[in-house]
């Protein structure tokens, strides 16, 4: 199959991210996005992972100042979990649990203490509600160990502008697929216009119009690990509340709730299992615990966690929710679009836009494993959360299937937060890494067979270091101050 032209079905974040990635990496390709005028943009608040800025600003080399000006994000250093038996714990993007300091005989994970819930700079800044260090010139010192909170409507606006300036065509059309021998023959508009290409990207969302409906690809269900299947969403206009540099994930009776920090709005959502709580009861619990949410401004979203067995079939490639979905506990939706889009661009580039069967098989194997890795990691969140003793959480602790995380858990239970097995148990492409697993297992106080008692010298060093990190963080910049600095007239970008 020789690829010179690509049609993208869907003008949401998945379709636009795919089109922009392919056009930036393979500018000779003709790329058109077909956007349905009947389907509006889903106006939700989203968190990202650190994959998002790296994809756009390093891989695609887009200008961050345009992103900040048009998308108006806030920064996210990680997740604050109100989860498990500890008061709370932090999961940062800085991989702090594996590090071993010269003054200590074990890696950081062995020294975690409830009264010092930070192990490095990133988590110390989260604990002190600061986003970045402060430079002598009064500007924030940016780094790459962060992600974003972003509103989907503003993200799509920025993506549309980037697509237009990169040469991607965007056409409003309502189409139906016409199946052919190698997948899709054409997408036919309601006015009879036939849109054809060498490769079709299915970015139609949960409908999975091409891969799911037309190609009838089998679906791999994740419900033996992830029991939640709905979310009730709300929020309120920010008043005096601080803008935290992290997402909050808080245990609820039959699931969990997120809090996403926008500059002028606080977005809250309760992810729950409909087998354990009704929509009305879930809404009532969310409103009771968040009385600032207007009662008439909530909505319920239904979903299923899983993926299609293959996302590249013949001349069709699924992207984003068309390929799979897992609940947003680690904010991986946009991350997976970045992974899928970049791996497709690299596959086409390395094959000189003539991918053969081995390239397609490898693409499917790689991206399928990425989805499975997320499922496995999320399963650990559920199996070991002992914060509440409700029917939902009792079920999670006894029935959650760990799949590929089982060997990691066995090793941890025997050896504690040791990192020596990370290279063997966690594939290098796993975005969470061994450090992510250690953050979850230590954070949830999962018992293990190798507890370590620091020597008095180590204890004194650890506490002095922690106090120093906290003192440094306290003089750093919060989100609001960093945004103000970012918007200074004449700011020079590096």
CATH number at residue 351: 3.50.50.60
Listed in sequence order, the residues at least 6 apart from 308 whose beta carbon sits closer than 8 Å to its beta carbon are 208, 211, 212, 217, 218, 219, 220, 318, 323, 324
Same domain, 467 and 324: no
At 244-258, the pLDDT tens digits run 999 999 999 999 999
pLDDT in tens, 179-204: 998 899 999 999 999 999 999 999 99
Residue 137, pLDDT score? 83
Q: Which residues pair with 199 in a beta bridge?
A: 6
pLDDT, residue 145, reads 85
What is the model's pLDDT at position 36?
A: 87
pLDDT at 139: 84
Same structural domain, 338 and 356: yes
Are residues 155 and 140 both part of a single domain?
no
Q: What is the pLDDT of residue 124?
A: 98
User: How many domains does one find in the chain?
Assistant: 2
How many other CB atoms sit within 10 Å of the CB of residue 401? 15
Residues 136 and 154 in one domain: no
pLDDT at 138: 80
Is position 9 within any domain? yes
3-state DSSP call for residue 38? coil
Residues 326 and 454 in one domain: no
Question: Which of 373, 395, 411 represents a domain boundary (last residue)?
Answer: 373
**Domain check: are 408 and 459 in the same one?**
yes
The predicted structure's pLDDT at residue 456: 97
10 plus 159 within the same structural domain: yes
**Measured in whole angstroms, how far is the alpha carbon of residue 371 from the centre of its chain?**
12
Mean pLDDT by 10 residues, the chain (494 residues): 97 97 98 84 75 96 94 97 97 95 97 95 97 89 90 95 98 95 94 97 96 98 98 96 98 98 96 98 98 95 97 98 96 97 98 98 98 98 98 98 98 96 92 96 97 96 98 96 88 64
Q: Are residues 42 and 137 in the same domain?
A: no
Please give the pLDDT value at position 493. Answer: 61
Q: Which of 356, 373, 390 is the last residue of a domain?
A: 373
Dihedral sign, CA of 346, 350, 351, 353?
positive
For residue 437, the model assigns a pLDDT of 98
Q: Does a structural domain hold residue 409?
A: yes
- For residue 472, the model assigns a pLDDT of 96
Domain membership of residue 109 (yes or no) is yes
Return the C-alpha torsion angle 479, 480, 484, 487, nearest 10.
60
Q: What is the predicted pLDDT for the residue at 142?
A: 84
- Give a yes or no: residue 278 inside a domain: no
Tell me, yes or no, whether 108 and 204 share the same domain. no
pLDDT value, residue 401: 98
430 in a domain, yes or no?
Answer: yes
Rounded distance, CA 379 to CA 357, Å? 33
Per-residue CA distances from 465 to 78, 235, 336, 352, 471 (Å): 21, 38, 36, 52, 10
Choose among 123, 119, 90, 89: nearest CA to 107.
119
Which range marks the domain in which residue 217 is found? 5-73+149-221+308-373
| β-bridge mates for residue 299, sequence order | 233
């Amino acid at each position: 199959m020789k690829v010179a032209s690509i049609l993208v079905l869907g003008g949401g974040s998945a379709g636009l991210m795919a089109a922009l990635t392919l056009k930036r990496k393979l500018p000779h390709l003709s790329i058109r996005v077909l956007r349905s005028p009947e389907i509006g943009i889903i106006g939700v608040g989203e968190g990202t992972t650190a994959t998002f800025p790296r994809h756009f600003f390093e891989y695609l080399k887009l200008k961050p100042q345009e992103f900040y000006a048009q998308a108006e994000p806030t920064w996210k250093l990680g997740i604050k979990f109100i989860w498990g038996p500890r008061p709370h714990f932090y999961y940062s993007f800085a991989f702090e649990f594996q590090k071993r300091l010269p003054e200590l005989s074990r890696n950081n994970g062995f020294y975690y203490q409830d009264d010092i819930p930070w192990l490095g700079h990133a988590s110390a800044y989260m604990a002190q509600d600061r986003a970045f260090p402060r430079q002598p010139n009064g500007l924030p010192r940016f780094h790459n160990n962060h992600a974003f909170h972003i509103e989907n409507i503003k993200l799509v606006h920025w993506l549309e502008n980037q697509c237009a300036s990169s040469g991607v065509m965007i056409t409003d059309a309502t189409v139906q697929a016409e199946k052919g021998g190698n997948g899709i023959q054409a997408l036919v508009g309601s006015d009879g216009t036939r849109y054809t290409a060498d490769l079709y990207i299915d970015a139609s969302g949960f409908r999975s119009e091409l891969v799911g409906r037309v190609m009838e690809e089998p679906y791999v269900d994740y419900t033996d690990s992830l029991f939640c299947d709905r979310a009730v969403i709300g929020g309120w206009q920010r008043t005096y509340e601080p803008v935290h540099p992290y997402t909050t994930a808080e245990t609820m009776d039959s699931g969990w709730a997120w809090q996403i920090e926008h500059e002028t709005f606080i977005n809250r959502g309760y992810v729950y299992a409909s087998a354990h709580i009704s929509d009305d009861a879930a809404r009532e619990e969310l409103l009771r615990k968040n009385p600032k949410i207007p009662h008439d401004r909530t909505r319920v979203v239904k979903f299923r966690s899983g993926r299609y067995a293959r996302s590249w079939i013949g001349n069709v490639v699924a992207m984003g929710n068309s390929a799979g979905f897992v609940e947003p506990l680690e904010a991986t939706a946009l991350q997976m679009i970045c992974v899928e889009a970049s791996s497709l661009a690299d596959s086409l580039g390395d094959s000189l836009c003539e991918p053969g069967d081995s390239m397609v098989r490898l693409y499917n194997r790689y991206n399928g494993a990425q989805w499975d890795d997320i499922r496995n990691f999320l399963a650990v969140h559920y199996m070991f959360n002992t914060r509440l003793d409700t029917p939902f959480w009792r079920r999670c602790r006894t029935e959650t299937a760990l799949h590929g995380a089982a060997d990691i858990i066995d090793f941890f239970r025997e050896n504690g937060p040791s990192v020596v097995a990370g290279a063997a148990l966690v594939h290098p492409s796993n975005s969470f890494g061994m450090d992510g697993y250690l953050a979850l297992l230590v954070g949830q106080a999962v018992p293990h067979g190798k507890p370590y008692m620091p020597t008095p010298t180590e204890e004194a060093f650890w506490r002095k270091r922690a106090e120093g990190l906290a003192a440094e963080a306290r003089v750093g910049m919060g989100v609001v101050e960093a945004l103000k600095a970012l918007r200074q007239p004449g700011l020079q970008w590096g």
